[in-house]
Amino acid sequence: MRLAHFLKPQRLPRMVDLGSCLITRDCGRGRLLCQHLPLDPISVSFKQVSSMPATMEDILNKSVPPLPPYETKEKSPPPPEPQSLHFMHYYRSLEKGQRVALLGQLAADYGVDHTQVAELSNKLTQAQQKRDLGTVMQVEDRLRYYLTPQYKVLFSHISRMDGGLKFLVDLRSDIVEGVTSKVADAPHLREMNGILKSMLSEWFSIGFLNLERITWQSPCEVLQKISEYEAVHPVRNWTDMKRRVGPYRRCFTFTHSSMPGEPLIVLHVGLMQNILGNIQAIVKEVPSSEAEDGNKIKSAIFYSISLTQQGLQGVELGNYLIKRVVKELQGEFSQISEFSSLSPIPGFTKWLFGVFNTQMKELGRTELFLDSECKEITDITGAPAIETLKRLFTSNEWMKSESLVKVLEAPLMRLCAWYLYGEKHRGFALNPVANFHLQNGAVMWRLNWMADTSPRGAAASCGMMVNYRYFLENTSVNSARYLQMKHIEASEQVLNLVSQFKKNSKL
């Protein structure tokens, strides 16, 4: 599961664009259907406005409305709609690098009026010194208002237009990419990122979201998007997709009324007799023709969760989706008693290589493996253990050797347990998937050997996966302890592996 970045699966060949006519494959019958698509409302509306300015300065000057004076803030009319349409159309016409440049200029030139804020701050200090509570509160209210960036007025107006919310989600995706890649590592742009994230958090709060179950009868366009957005276990073909929404499986999404037909976040669930520790048993082995028997369902396993809109990074959706799905499943299957994830461990192999390299550089050897383990590896491969491992772990070839699989289980399991439990970022779990589930109140319950032997699973985590168990009566307490005290609730198996690491490995 994710909340790290994964490659998208290859697009399923299904549609041919013929101008405003789209030929699609009927998912249920294999026929081709022809339907006329509605034109983009923004493009249509833009045709009704005058020609747009030629430069970024012009477009910003004409598009960004001024912050209304404090005294008339409740009575000021909204800016003319063509202004925002100009901005949206111009922005979409730019290349990615040009978009980041425009956003940087927007953030720097149309942000907070720092002169006004400084004057109000001085007035506030003076009022506090005079202990004039009425004046203090009046100045504080003015100060709050003038801390509003000018571009926020533009964003607010765009959000109320047809297609505007989706536009802002995509715009923030460009901001996030620009900031994280340091293409435009400017404080103004980082501030804009935080402000737009806060605005999106309000617009996409739980009260505005709709829970939808995806089935084989769902629209083909939605099924296509679900397959493309799958970020954890790529969908190979339509048979694979049919299996994932068929018997003993559930697929749920959150949608928003202002973004119809756009899944925001997708959760795949396997309905089992017990908690599994192998992903192939979930994504491959259940025949799609088998009728569902509710008596066989005792466990719900969340095996994939994918955020589909990168512009919603940091907006809390996954936690709410899991809670809503738990209630949905409890209503459908009252006998379900176990809720768990089966999660990937992105970053483990990269971390392991980093530790290898550091120890070899500083010590000329590694202290992650026991001498006896290194000898066994050398005896099997005929080469020094560390050189062999670094070469082997770049592929999944080693998984074909029963002797290597056997000798590597103990050291890699204890190393991975430490990576999940002991490696921290600002006191929280370094691994993003672990951090996500622990924040939700789950328990780090079971580490599974040879759980994902696909090339992706081998490359990311040497084939290991982990179950995060949701004990519903304890999730609130666990979440609070993790967020407030950075305490990780873990099972005896995980703690034993961590203890073995501390005893046998030196970092």
Question: Per residue, what are the HEC states of 356-420?
Answer: HHHHHHHHCCCCCCCHHHHHHHHHHHCCCHHHHHHHHCCCCHHHHCHHHHHHHHHHHHHHHHHHH
Please confirm, yes or no, whether 343 is among the known catalytic residues: yes
- The rounded distance, in Å, linking the Cα atoms of 80 and 157 is 10
Q: What three-state secondary structure class fits 202? A: helix
Q: Tell me how far CA of residue 507 lies from CA of 45, 180, 434, in angstroms.
A: 61, 29, 21
Do the strands 299-307 and 338-341 form a parallel or antiparallel pair, or are they unpaired?
A: parallel
Sheet holding 15-18, edge to edge: 15-18, 21-25, 32-36
CB 83 within 8 A of CB 58: no
CB 258 within 8 A of CB 166: yes
288: left (phi over 0), alpha (psi -120 to 50) or beta: alpha
Please confirm, yes or no, whether 437 is among the known catalytic residues: yes
| Nearest residue to 162 (alpha-carbon basis) of 243, 302, 257 | 257
Q: Tell me how far CA of residue 96 lies from CA of 62, 174, 184, 341, 426, in angstroms.
A: 22, 8, 12, 36, 32
CB 249 within 8 A of CB 28: no
Based on its alpha-carbon atoms, the radius of gyration of the chain, rounded to whole angstroms, reads: 27
Q: Tell me how far CA of residue 270 lies from CA of 214, 266, 307, in angstroms.
A: 14, 14, 19
> Which residue in the list 258, 340, 343, 461 is annotated as catalytic?
343
Indicate the helix (H) or strand (E) that contains 34. Answer: strand 32-36
Residue 469 burial (CB count, 10 A): 18
Tokens 């009046």 appear where? 138
What does the block give as tokens for 466?
A: 């982990």
Cα 97 to its chain centre, rounded Å, is 23
Q: Where are the beta strands (DSSP E) in 174-264?
A: 209-213, 249-256
Q: Tell me how far CA of residue 146 lies from CA of 139, 151, 194, in angstroms.
A: 10, 12, 17
| Nearest residue to 14 (alpha-carbon basis) of 255, 219, 307, 212 | 219
- The rounded distance, in Å, linking the Cα atoms of 277 and 249 is 16
What does the block give as tokens for 15?
A: 């549609």
Do the strands 338-341 and 424-425 form a parallel or antiparallel pair, or are they unpaired?
A: unpaired
> Which residue in the list 437, 476, 487, 491 is annotated as catalytic?
437
- The rounded distance, in Å, linking the Cα atoms of 318 and 208 is 15
Catalytic residues: 343, 437
